[in-house]
Amino acid sequence: MSRKFRFGKFGLREDPTGAHVTLDWQGRTLLGEVRSAEYNQATGYIVLTVRHFNGELWPIQPTVLAVNVLSSREEA
């Protein structure tokens, strides 16, 4: 079962690092692990760096809102 990252009054309520995420992109589903997250001042979004499980980077850097979370280090 998938879910979205949780947000609160002051932004992201959980650390996305280490979460397993999916993204529908160009007719296929990307699956990977979040390696880092950073705030992009130009767009105002939190952008993720995600790697496939074989170590290759995803072809795009999705925003936190675009991905679905499969599991994370801590389920609350």
Q: Is the pLDDT of residue 73 over 70?
A: no
Task: Please state which CATH number belongs to domain 7-71.
Answer: 2.30.30.30
* Token pair listed for 37: 């997250």
Percentage of the chain lying above the pLDDT 90 cut:
86
pLDDT in tens, 10-30: 889 999 999 999 999 999 999
Residue type, 56: E
Q: Is the pLDDT of residue 76 over 80?
A: no
What is the distance between the alpha carbons of residues 17 and 22, in angstroms, rounded to a whole number? Answer: 14
Q: Is the pLDDT of residue 52 over 90?
A: yes
Cα 31 to the center of its chain, rounded Å: 10
Mean pLDDT of the chain: 91
Do residues 50 and 57 lie in contact, with contact meaning Cβ atoms separated by under 8 Å?
Answer: yes
